[in-house]
């Protein structure tokens, strides 16, 4: 059972090695002639005015929070969907109520304008 997952583990390691090897090859074979202008961050030819890690729109944060809610919901739905044939109407009704509560929350977000980008 668990040994089925061994190829996955090895594949992940191979993925890391391929990426790392490609980067290493690029750094070894490629030239390296640094100068101040080349190594400065790209800003249309200007000197960078300030640190780029600036304040950003709070909406991105909001999207991330909404994502967590819905992604968790998907995680709940996965096992339910697999056994839906066996649990029949009772199981469907239980998940229906759960989803309904979430849909109410979704409609609330929508009406509050959390999904608006202007």
Partner 1 sequence: MLESTLQLWEWLPVWLQILVKIGIIVLPLMGAVAYLTFAERKIIGFMQVRMGPNRVGPRGWLQPIADALKLMTKEVIVPTNASRFLFLIAPILTLTPALAAWAVIPFADGLVLADVDAALLYVLALTSMGVYGVIIAGWASNSKYAFLGALRSAAQIIAYEIAMGFALVGVLMAGGSLNLGKIVAAQSGGLAGWFMFPLLPLFVVYFISGVAETNRAPFDVAEGESEIVAGFHVEYSGMAFAVFFLAEYANMILIAALTAVLFVGGWQSPFYGSWLDALSTVPVVGWVFDHGIHWFLGKTALFLFCFLWFRATFPRYRYDQIMRLGWKVFLPITIVWLFVEGIAIAAGWQPWLA
Distance CA 89, CA 95 (A): 10
Taking the C-alpha atoms of residue 69 and residue 106, their distance in angstroms, rounded to an integer, is: 10
Q: Does 58 bind partner 1 (CB under 8 A)?
A: no
Chain length of the chain:
118
Determine if 67 is a binding residue for partner 1 (CB under 8 A): yes
For the CB of residue 108, give the shortest distance to partner 1 in the complex, in Å.
14
Angle at 70 between CA 8 and CA 108, to 5 degrees: 175
Residue 91 near residue 83 (C-beta atoms within 8 A)? yes
Binding site for partner 1 (CB under 8 A): 4-8, 10-12, 14-16, 18-20, 22-23, 25-27, 29-34, 36, 38-43, 48, 51-54, 56-57, 59-60, 63-64, 66-67, 70-71, 74, 77-78, 81-82, 84-85, 88-89, 91-92, 95-96, 99, 103, 106, 110, 115-118
């Amino acid at each position: 059972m668990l040994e089925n997952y061994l190829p996955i583990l090895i594949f992940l390691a191979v993925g890391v090695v391929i990426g790392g090897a490609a980067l290493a090859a690029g750094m070894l074979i490629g030239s390296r002639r640094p100068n101040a202008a080349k190594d400065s961050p790209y800003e249309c030819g200007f000197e960078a005015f300030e640190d780029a890690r600036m304040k950003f729109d709070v909406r991105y944060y909001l999207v991330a929070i909404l994502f967590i809610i819905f992604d968790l919901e998907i995680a709940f739905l996965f096992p339910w969907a697999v056994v839906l044939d066996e649990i029949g109407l009772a199981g469907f009704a239980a998940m229906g109520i759960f989803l309904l509560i979430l849909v109410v929350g979704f409609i609330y977000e929508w009406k509050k304008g959390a999904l608006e980008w202007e």
